[in-house]
Structure 1
Amino acid sequence: MERASASLTSMGYDVTGSLFAFLPALDSTPESWMIAVTVGIGILCMMLLTPLVIRLAKQLGWVAFPQEDRWHDRPVALMGGIAIFGSSVVAVTLSGAYEFYSWPVWLAGGLVFFAGLADDLYDIRPEAKLVVQILATVLLLYAGFAFWRGGPFWLSVPLTFLWVIGVTNAVNLIDGMDGLAAGLAAIAASIIGLVAWMIGITQVAVVAGAVAGAAAGFLIFNFQPARIFMGDCGSMFLGFTLATLALTVQGKGGPFAATLVPIVVLAVPIFDTTFVTITRILNGVPVTQGGTDHTMHRLVTLGLSERRTVLLLYTVSAIFGLSTLAVYQSTASLFYALALLAIVGLVGFGMYLWSAHPKTTGQPEPVFTQRFGAVMRAMFGGAGWKSFVGTVADLLLVAATFIAAHHLRFGATPPGDVYEVMLTALPAVIGLKIAIFYIANLYHGIWRHAGTPELVRLVGASTLASLITYLGLIIAFGANTIAPAVVVIDWMLTTGAIGLLRFGFRGLRQYFASHRTEGPRAVIYGNDPTALLAVRYFRQPDTEIDRTIVGFLSDEPDQQGLHTQGLSILGTLDHLPETCTQYDIDEVIVTAPNLSSEEKEIIQRECIAHGVTCRYFSVSLDPHPESGNASLSSGDGASRTDLPHMSSRSS
């Protein structure tokens, strides 16, 4: 697919009467500069319009107050979508790019905006908004825009309704945290604009730039802590506009763009909507009901801050979006391989969000658990359903990595004979590797508690599978046909992908636990195995003793500044005063097992002097009361009755 080199004028882009007519120096500039100017106009308009909308909202009472099914905890001005809509219209009008789309498209966008505005003002029924979205989609079809244009009519039309209505509501549903929807819209519009520029439809790139500029400008007022919310009028308008832009690029690009751009660029809102829809249906909760069970809410519940959650979802969206550019000129088989990897990853992440059981308001998670678990146990018996899911995931991963290995070895397009062998051998490779994985007992483990032994078994199984596969390919196709480098790359990709899937749950659990802030803030005095055990214990989601561990104190000065378990060694006991002040410490938890009485007294005095509680954490084994055997303690002379055990000496 060749990059467009034609100028705006040669493409029929009439700049007469537009903003650029008043800027003669820009008439001869590259198209990229015109797009950049349009982005700047969108940002500037937002900076001028948004303060006016905030003032108007406060005067007219357009304010969102905290509710049980909403995330914010303070009154915030509404109707930011008015500024987004106005800035987008102004930027597109001044640029002259409005001529690319016919009147039905602009009418459809206006209908969606005013439907959202009516919902913000009068709280109209969901079916009323749906009717407007259907009418807007009909107008798009009338204007000639359809999903999979050129495909069967009976399939293209339903897919168009599903796409436009789905994306419109996906962006609307994900607008539940400061700055999230606006940032994702800015990223998506930017990626679509880049793709449009690459394939030569610069007017669409300009329109996308106007939307990206408006969304980015809104972030100045909407990022945490938000001064204004966009409301349904803003989120629905952005969703509909992104859906329309994606359809445009899909229709003008080749068949590869038809698959890539619409879905991948908007992966984050599509995933969130799909995830919430499935979990609510299984829970018997209305899909249209507000709630705090979305992806971003669950991430915060699991331990991330709101700002870190938003930035994380920005990053994921950008990675998915940029991947469309990276593989835009590659073969369809590589795209399908990458799509399989992405699907397995997203499904695995969704299962983790479900299994984490965040405490969401009004969402009876146990009902979902009971129904899902009952169905899977009935089909596969006991915990066997997890093995079934793992097998299916490995099947997809093995297929994806085998294809990706050939493309990495031979470039974007492997030679014809190599490509034919790859497709012919693929089913046999899948079957052979899955069989070896089964024999190696990769499907008979509890992987969320996996450790080094499981990792060694995984690497061994993958190595054996690759060697046997290589021998089988040599026998079937000849030694000169199979490149050894492909086998090595395939082994690396397969081992890495399956290992990431197996250890992903554990890694995610530890990552979120390291950011959880529940219970008193504590520093651990000690840097021994018991100290590490204490950190892991306090990070367990179901522990009865909630603590936020902020770091360690150690007896060894040269360890200061080092990190372990994601926490820093803040210094020695002499640094306790500044540590308590800087990190707002409530407790000092002592784990060193061999402290003398004098050392304990020193620690106690320091804690009393700085107004913090001193506690002792240890691991012990106690015999049954009737056995009469002596207790096995941690070595500090104190009797232990719990496993683990934490005693206290309060200041």
Structure 2
Amino acid sequence: MTITILPIAVLIVSLAATACVRWVARFAGIVAMPRADRWNRKPTALLGGVGIFVPFVLGLLVLRPSIQGLWPLMGAATFLFAVGLVDDLHTLRPHVKLVMQVAAASVLPLVGLVLPWTPFKLVNDVITLFWMVGITNAVNLLDNMDGLAGGVTALASLFQSAYFIVNGQVAAATLSLLLACAIAGFLVFNSHPASIFMGDCGSLFLGFMLGGTALLNNWGRSRGLVAVLMTPVLLMLVPIVDTSLVTVTRILRGRPVSQGGKDHVSHRLVATGLSERRAVLLLYGLTAVSGGIAFELRYLHEEVLYFVVPCFALVVLFFALHLGMMRVYDEEKLPQGNLFSFLVDFSYKRRIAEVLFDLVLMTLAYYGAFLLRFGGAIPARQIYFFERFAPLVLGVEMVLFLSGGLYRGIWRYVGIEDVIVIVRCVTLAGAGAAVAVLLTQANPRLSLAVLALNAILLLMLVAGSRVALRLFATWLRSHANRCEAATPVLIYGAGERGDLLVRGMLGGDEYFPVGFLDDDGSKIGRRLHGISIYGPGDLARVKEKHLVSEVLVSSAKISEEKARALGMAIRRI
């Protein structure tokens, strides 16, 4: 009964508390003013963290869970809540807040709350300190867009709750559920457009509690190393990725890491053309996927984890690199220096990264072939074969990739011709590796099925990685917001030329395609790149709805007379 009624009560109290805090903050003038390094465009109330902290503490006092180390954890989190409150009212310097975080985190190893990642207690204690301070700051940095930090932490708490339930830790599950409900009440007021921000009192408290509740897990000590290492990391993936990306790019650009800015993952997504809401929802989705994978780690065989986790890590790395390559800084203000210039230039050189990326894909394909052939449990004898022939397989495949011209294309613009090159190179590489292994091995022989599966998986991974970037970039452009300066236009002709024309327009700032116009009745009512295709009879309605005054003619087959009959400005492309 407690696990159902108490969370609902906490949600209701959070709604009421946040509304009250918002009124008080506005009345007292405790607001975040718009600044160059802030995302908000209007004065917004602060101290929303109070609306999370108070309901959660009240729920905790009612629940009174018997969990080892919980009350010291709660005491340290309350201390950081107070530090954040002082920072919201009277700004503290970054190093002062960092010292306070270290002081709070140092309490946890004393009461047995550590990440059991190594056999050595001292090492685990140090790792735990870095973990707690890192996650606390990660959530603090993630609080950069309406609803982002609150939504991500609420989802992470829900996954933690589910994780505790299947592990039989009902009290810990209820604790995480209470935290999620307290955040949910605040999110009603913090979702775009936000009327209140959580402030540092909220972000420091949430970051510390999220990092700390991950330490309450008691099943990982009896499981494999991969699951123990990756479960908390996957649950906190979005804050970790955001902090890592911001830290690396700011260091490369010679900017202070502690300085505010609009260079976070969410800001970069908006820079691609997504709306704030869609950018936040995309990061919610990433949190849900990573949380689901963390949940599944409990049930997967450890040998399978060695394949699944790196594959997902590559997807996330791919996503982060795509956003990290975006130029979001004022180039005129960049510092100079040979070392700096080398680092920045290297960060934008992709060929070395492509080679390293393919090397990882080759390893995964080769390992995955063994997994598929032996049903997810590789015999010890086959592990020997894997280790023995891995250097040969990878070396032959890399040489054939290079000689086949795989690294001459540009991923972002991959087309049919590039796919043909990929298929040719991967087929030759798979066959070449198989021949090399067969010629060098003695009895007992490596399974031929492994060699065939290796070629198939390699083709799927290499081709998929190339095409994925094109698809992701196209998806971002097709969901991009219209630039205010862009002219709304109709494209006359939904054929191949119209397709090419709209590809160049999506995400641009000159034209915004609101629809296609075509005389072919079989195309009318369909969509191309998410854009509707209309017939001549729909022209008046579309013109009025989208305020279109110009038509771009994409095909030479459309006569001048027919184009002029539309009664709008005509431009042939």
Give the match for residue 127 of structure 1. 95
Residues 1:83 and 2:33 aligned together: no
- Is residue 546 of structure 2 the alignment partner of residue 583 of structure 1? yes
Q: CA deviation at 1:617?
A: 2.7
Q: CA deviation at 1:260?
A: 1.6
1:439 deviates by: 2.3
Q: Distance in 2 between matches of 1:536 and 1:266?
A: 36
1:172 touches 1:236 (CA, 8 Å); kept in 2? yes
Q: Aligned in 2, Cα 1:49/1:488: closer, same or farther, shift over 3 Å?
A: farther
- The AA in structure 2 aligned to 1:601 is R
Q: Structure 1 residues 488, 143: CA separation in 2 closer, same or farther (over 3 Å shift)? A: same
Equivalence for 1:536: 503
Select between 205-214 and 494-503 the one with higher mean Cα deviation.
494-503
What's the counterpart of residue 11 of structure 2?
43
Match of 1:262 in 2: 232
Give yes or no for contact 2:8–2:181 (8 Å, CA) kept in 1: yes
* Distance 1:37-1:427 versus aligned 2 partners, 3 A rule: farther
Match status 1:73 vs 2:41: yes
Which of 116, 126, 129 in structure 2 is aligned with 1:161?
129
CA distance in 1, matches of 2:368, 2:492: 49
In structure 1, give the amino acid aligned to 2:410: I
Q: Does 369-378 or 460-469 show the bigger shift?
A: 369-378
- From 511, 518, 530, the equivalent of 1:554 is 518
Assess if the C-alpha contact under 8 Å between 2:31 and 2:44 holds in 1.
yes
Q: Answer whether contact 1:168 1:240 (CA < 8 A) is retained.
A: yes
* Structure 2 residue 418 is the aligned partner of structure 1 residue 454: yes
After superposition, the Cα gap between the structure-2 partners of 1:169 and 1:148, relative to the gap in structure 1 and judged at 3 Å, is: same
Matches of 2:42 and 2:375 in 1, distance apart?
54
Q: Contact 2:138–2:239 at 8 Å: present in 1 too?
A: yes
> What corresponds to 1:171 in structure 2?
139
| Partners of 2:231 and 2:297 within 8 A in 1 | no
TM-score by length of 1: 0.80
The equivalent residue for 2:266 is 296
Amino acid at match of 2:393: V
| 1:405-445 CA-partner distances (Å, limit 9, x unpaired) | 43345444344444443344433332232222122221233
Aligned residue number for residue 386 of structure 2: 422
Which residue of structure 2 aligns with residue 509 of structure 1?
473
Aligned-residue offset at 1:225: 1.8
Q: CA shift at 1:498, angstroms?
A: 1.8
Please identify the structure whose Cα radius of gyration is greater.
1
Structure 1 residue 601 corresponds to structure 2 residue 564 = yes
Q: 1:378 to 1:428 in 2, by over 3 A?
A: same
* Kept after mapping to 2: 8 A contact 1:300/1:306: yes
Matched, 1:237 2:200: no
CA distance in 1, matches of 2:339, 2:536: 52
Shift in alpha-carbon separation, 1:367–1:594, aligned structure 2, 3 A = farther
Superposed displacement of residue 513, structure 1 = 2.3
Distance 1:105 1:435, change over 3 A: same
Letter in 2 for 1:430: L
From 368, 371, 375, give the equivalent of 1:407. Answer: 371
Structure-2 change in CA distance of 1:590 and 1:344 (3 Å): same
Gap change, CA 1:528 and 1:375, over 3 Å in 2: same
Q: Amino acid of the residue matched to residue 482 of structure 1?
A: S
Cα distance in 2 for residues equivalent to 1:125 and 1:223: 28
The structure-2 alpha-carbon separation of the partners of 1:603 and 1:216, relative to structure 1 and needing over 3 Å to count, comes to same
> Post-superposition shift, 1:341?
2.3
**Distance of aligned partners of 1:552 and 1:157 in 2 relative to their CA distance in 1, 3 Å threshold:** same
Residue 487 of structure 1, CA deviation: 4.5
**Partner Cα distance (1:216, 1:487) in 2:** 51
Distance change >3 Å, CA 193–CA 343, structure 1 → 2: same
Label 1:250 to 1:314 Cα distance change in 2 as closer, same or farther (>3 A).
farther
Aligned to 2:488: 521
Describe the SS at the equivalent of 2:103.
helix
Distance 1:582 1:501, change over 3 A: same
Structure 2: tracts of 5 or more residues without a match: none
Q: For residues 170-190 of structure 1, give each alpha carbon's deviation from its aligned partner in whole angstroms, at most 9, with x where no partner exists.
A: 111111111111111011112
1:501–1:259 CA distance, 2 compared to 1 (3 A): same
| Cα gap change, 1:256 to 1:352, in 2 (>3 Å) | closer
Instruction: Give yes or no for the alignment of 1:617 onto 2:567.
Output: no
1:277 alignment partner in structure 2: 247
CA distance in structure 1 between the partners assigned to 2:148 and 2:238 by the alignment: 11
Q: Mean Cα displacement is larger for which, 245-254 or 454-463?
A: 245-254
1:573 lines up with 2:536 in the alignment = yes
Structure 2 vs 1, CA of residues 193 and 430 (structure 1 numbering), >3 Å: closer, same or farther?
Answer: farther
Contact 2:138 2:243 in 1 (8 A): yes
Give matches, 1:409-488, under 5 Å.
409-473=373-437, 476=441, 482=447, 484=449, 486-488=450-452
Preserved contact between residue 69 and residue 112 of structure 2 (Cα < 8 Å): no
Q: Summarize the alignment of residues 295-334 of structure 1 with structure 2, pairs less than 5 Å apart.
A: 295-334=265-304
2:332 and 2:241 mapped to 1: Cα distance?
A: 21
Query: What does residue 338 of structure 1 align with?
Result: 308
Aligned-pair CA distance for 1:132 = 1.0
Q: Does 1:64 align with 2:32?
A: yes
Contact 2:273 2:507 in 1 (8 A): no
Question: Given residue 209 of structure 2, which amino acid in structure 1 is its aligned partner?
Answer: T
How far off its partner does 1:214 sit?
1.6
The amino acid of 1:616's aligned partner reads: R
Residues 125 and 508 from structure 1, CA distance in 2 versus in 1: closer, same or farther, beyond 3 angstroms? same
| Other structure's SS at 2:407 match | coil
- How far apart, CA to CA, are the structure 1 residues paired with 2:193 and 2:545? 24
Q: Deviations over 1:240-294 (max 9, x none)?
A: 1111111222775434432121211111110110100111111111111111110
Matched residue SS, 1:97: coil
1:306, distance to aligned residue in structure 2 (A) = 0.9
- Which fold has the larger relative contact order, with Cα–Cα distance below 8 Å and residues 6 or more apart in sequence? 2
Q: What is the distance in 2 between the residues matched to 1:466 and 1:145? A: 48
> In the alignment, which residue of structure 2 is the partner of 1:347?
317
- Give the residue type in structure 2 aligned to 1:70: R
- State the Cα distance separating 1:222 from its structure 2 match: 1.6
Give the CA deviation at 1:345: 2.7
- State the distance in 2 between where 1:546 and 1:368 align: 34
| Residue 495 (1) aligns with residue 459 (2) | yes
Quote the offset at 1:377 in angstroms: 6.8
1:74-223 to 2 correspondences below 5 Å: 74-97=42-65, 99-148=67-116, 150-223=118-191
Aligned length: 567
Distance 1:546 1:463, change over 3 A: same
Which residue identity is paired with 1:527? A
Identical-residue share of aligned pairs (%): 31
Write the distance in 2 (CA, Å) between the matches of 1:328 and 1:167: 23
- Structure 1 CA distance, aligned partners of 2:181 and 2:558? 62
Q: Could you give the per-residue CA deviations for residues 206-251 of structure 1, whole angstroms, max 9, x where no partner exists?
A: 2111112222232222211222211111111111111111122277
Residue 5 of structure 1 is matched in structure 2 by: none
- Structure 1: state its 5+ residue gaps: 1-25, 27-33, 608-613, 619-651
Query: Once the 2 structures are TM-superposed, how far is the Cα of residue 303 of structure 1 from its aligned partner?
Result: 0.7
Q: Secondary structure at the match of 1:443?
A: helix
Measure the CA separation in 2 of the matches of 1:472 and 1:388. Answer: 26
Distance 1:597 1:507, change over 3 A: closer
After TM superposition, give the deviation of residue 376 of structure 1 in Å. Answer: 8.1
- Note closer, same or farther for the CA distance 1:527–1:493 as it changes in structure 2 (3 Å cut): same
What secondary structure does 1:521 align onto? strand
